[in-house]
Homo-oligomer: A and B are copies of this chain.
Amino acid sequence: MQIINTIAGIRALVEEVRREGGIIGFVPTMGYFHEGHLSLMRRAKEECGLVVVSIFVNPLQFGPREDFASYPRDFDRDVAMAEEAGADIIFAPDVAEMYPPHFYTTVNVEKITEPLCGRSRPGHFRGVATVVTKLFNIVRPHRAYFGQKDAQQVLVIKRLAEDLNMDLNIVNAPLVRESDGLAMSSRNVYLSPEDRQAATVLYRSLQEAERAVSEGILEGARLEELVRAIISREPRAAIDYVEVLSLPDLEPCAKISGQALVAVAVRFGNTRLIDNTIVEE
């Protein structure tokens, strides 16, 4: 496995692979890998000749009061885990390589970035869309892999790739959970033992929503109320949002028809966790 820090370096390498007809799979990450990341790398390895994993904690997608500085980082551990999972190249640029002086361009996806995390984290998706556009142009993958944990992010990236006519496939891989149902996240390490235990309420609340839909409860407001009630019973949980929205346009959903996203964001202490499930009429 090779570690590359410069844009010129990765570009030369992927260009050669492309010229020779190789298929490039790309897993963009902020590092601090868990099983969710590794499942993306393994899948990329199955489907592509060359697997590029980027590790870049992107300052542009963090708000001024968010956890950019303290976001967990462990490069050596990540390198070992990625190699084990089948990565061929780690692309790990520093901030100055990605955002040199006189950097003035941003990519913005409207409408579907308004609800959910877009409302809670102003500017977050503009930062995501901008860095992903850059990374796609640098790595030029045939296939790029994103986890369903960040459901809104996947929709935003699919939207921008299609709107800007990027010639690649966005692969949306399933959410990976701990054995007790907690969605895997690099931020789970922030949790105290008590909060870690309490956080299992998120998955339980989503399972209840799934069960309700399967029993014919299709009203968005009623499902939101049901999820909200379950989470509220957990005193350590502070709800940021509970929403049921249409797919793929993330519009309010008076009554589910077709697919809908049930998405939650909840704070435990200083740690904000998200989770979601897709339900179907």
| Chain A residues engaging chain B, CB cutoff 8 angstroms | 7, 11, 102-112, 129-130, 133-134, 137-138, 140, 159-160, 163-167, 248-249
- A59 and B214 alpha carbons, distance in the complex (Å): 45
Tell me, rounded to whole Å, the shortest Cβ–Cβ distance linking A85 to chain B.
26
B-side contacts of A106, CB under 8 Å? 107-108, 110
- A201 and B104 alpha carbons, distance in the complex (Å): 34
B-side contacts of A160, CB under 8 Å? 105
- A107 and B166 alpha carbons, distance in the complex (Å): 14
B-side contacts of A248, CB under 8 Å? 102
With A102-B249, A159-B102, A249-B102: A167-B137 Cβ-Cβ less than 8 Å: yes
Tell me, rounded to whole Å, the shortest Cβ–Cβ distance linking A65 to chain B.
22
- A106 and B133 alpha carbons, distance in the complex (Å): 12
- A160 and B160 alpha carbons, distance in the complex (Å): 16
Name the contact of A129 in the complex, choosing from B105, B159, B249 (C-beta under 8 A): B105
With A137-B165, A137-B166, A164-B137: A159-B7 Cβ-Cβ less than 8 Å: no
Residue of B nearest to A166 (CB): B137
B-side contacts of A111, CB under 8 Å? 104
- A104 and B125 alpha carbons, distance in the complex (Å): 13
- A133 and B166 alpha carbons, distance in the complex (Å): 10
Name the contact of A112 in the complex, choosing from B11, B104, B134, B159 (C-beta under 8 A): B104
- A106 and B106 alpha carbons, distance in the complex (Å): 8
B-side contacts of A164, CB under 8 Å? 105, 107, 130, 133-134, 137
- A158 and B133 alpha carbons, distance in the complex (Å): 16
With A165-B7, A167-B11: A104-B137 Cβ-Cβ less than 8 Å: no
